[in-house]
Chains A and B, each alone.
Chain A
Amino acid sequence: EVQLVESGGGLVQPGGSLRLSCAASELPFGSNWIHWVRQVPGKGMVWVSRIRSDGTGVAYADSVKGRFTISRDNAKNTLYLEMNSLRIEDTAVYFCARANRYFDEAVWGPGTLVTVSS
């Protein structure tokens, strides 16, 4: 079964940028979708974005639209989440997950923590 590992999290000031990566253990991602989901510690999960295996089908939650960009490089077996104009409320653990478009039967990574603070 494919395994996913996120990286790129860290501490950033409000208004700053970060790029998260999601690396898969096997080639390729296949005919599926990759989603980003975030969780404020102690709170519920919230869907952030998704992209189809061919790079189409991109969608974002309203809370990040215009600030975050999702992309994938199948040759490198890696998915990215470019986060700009970061806000304090973006502080969370960010997970990538492979599933279908409707987020059924998702396989998740362990997550990477993003902290937005001055």
Chain B
Amino acid sequence: QSVLTQPSSASGTPGQMVTISCSGNASNIGSNTVNWYQHLPGAAPKLLIHNNIQRPSGVPDRFSGSKSGTSASLAISGLQSEDEADYHCAVWDDSLNGPVFGGGTKVTVL
């Protein structure tokens, strides 16, 4: 069981918005910044969001992050077929002295 809680799946039709939640506690999300990664099978996970809300250069502005208290969210607006992937949240945990991850959310474009 992962330290952070994510829904196992999410789906939407092209053009819709999909939101993925990531729930933690005071020692991880409540104290540190959240990163989001996109992972296609067989490929290297790719950084989508860091510092809760910041997008690296090259990441479309369709992807946005937010954080409130001990929860964070990733929103994908204008959903595209190429967005089909697994999405993982990650954050440092002060109690465990290491990074912790969500179980991953598989996004399907219907």
Contacts and interface: CB of A to CB of B under 8 A. Distances in A.
A106 interface: yes
Interface stretch (A39-47, A72-80, A82-90): A39-47
- The interface size bin for chain A is 20 to 34
A43 B102 CA distance: 9
Interface residues of B, number: 26
Contacts of B101: 37, 44-47
B99 A103 contact: yes
A79 to B, nearest CB: 15
Interface string B91-106: 0100001111111100
Interface stretch (B13-21, B35-43, B60-68, B72-80): B35-43
A20 interface: no
Nearest to A61: B98
Given A104-B50, A105-B35, A106-B35, A47 B100 contact: yes
B44 A109 contact: yes
Interface string B51-90: 1000010000000000000000000000000000000101
A68 interface: no
Interface in A25-59: 35, 37, 43-47, 50, 59
Nearest to B50: A105
B51 A104 contact: yes
Nearest to B92: A102
B103 A106 contact: no
A103 B45 contact: no
A90 B47 CA distance: 26
A70 interface: no
B103 A103 contact: no
Interface of A: 4, 35, 37, 43-47, 50, 59, 61, 95, 97, 102-111
Given A44-B88, A45-B88, 9 more contacts: A43-B2, A43-B103, A44-B4, A44-B104, A47-B101, A97-B45, A103-B99, A108-B45, A109-B44
